[in-house]
Amino acid sequence: MTRNEIILGVFAFVLVVFSLVVALVVPRRDPSFPGKNLRLFVVVAVLLVAGMLTAVEVFGGEHEVREGEGKATETLEATTGATETGQTETGAPEGDPAAGRQVFTSAGCTSCHTLSAAGSTAQTGPNLDEVLQGKDAVFVRESIVNPDAEVAEGFSQELMPENYGEQLSDEQLANLVAFLVESTSG
């Protein structure tokens, strides 16, 4: 169970308990409920419902993304034998390195990174010729998709856009990973 699921559960529990108490317990003790306190009752009820809706919007988004990723991953595995790690069952990168070079250029990677295979010499981000030397597709993919992770040693977390991998399609990401692995494996 994730932290977000726990938070959603707490919000739901509070709303359900409030509803049950207001509907079943309070009217037995005070038949004129809410009476003079109608405005307070309405404000509290609206705030609880709004809080629950906000919690679903804020904390429920991660769960929806995970479900979608799972379906995409299952489809990818079924059609190509590839996994979400960016490798096929044989351990080779799943994408097309030639197409990955185009992604590297068009996505703006050349404006921050040095990579001799792409002819880029930018100094804002880390030198990929050095940082990715001998790294596998799993490491490369994780460095793009989750640049805040500790796995990306040497990467400037302040400079790398947050979750840059979301800006790329699955195919573009696979191609980019294949290009980077091939370019830095020598």
Residue range of the domain that includes 54: 3-59
Given this model, what pLDDT does residue 71 score?
42
Average pLDDT estimate for 18-38? 91
Q: Which long-range contacts (CB under 8 A, 24 or more apart) does 51-58 make?
A: 51/11, 51/15, 52/11, 52/12, 52/15, 55/7, 55/8, 55/11, 56/8, 56/11
pLDDT digits (tens, 9 = 90+) for 64-117: 434 444 444 443 444 444 444 444 444 456 889 999 899 888 888 888 889 999
168 burial (CB, 10 Å; 0-12 / 13-18 / 19+) is middle
Which position has the higher pLDDT, 160 or 42? 42
Whether residue 38 is found in the same domain as residue 98: no
Given this model, what pLDDT does residue 78 score?
44
Whether residue 107 is found in the same domain as residue 180: yes
Whether residue 179 is found in the same domain as residue 89: yes
pTM (2 d.p.): 0.49
Determine, yes or no, domain membership for 73: no
Determine, yes or no, domain membership for 45: yes
- Which helix (DSSP H) or strand (DSSP E) does residue 114 occupy? strand 114-115
Whether residue 115 is found in the same domain as residue 156: yes
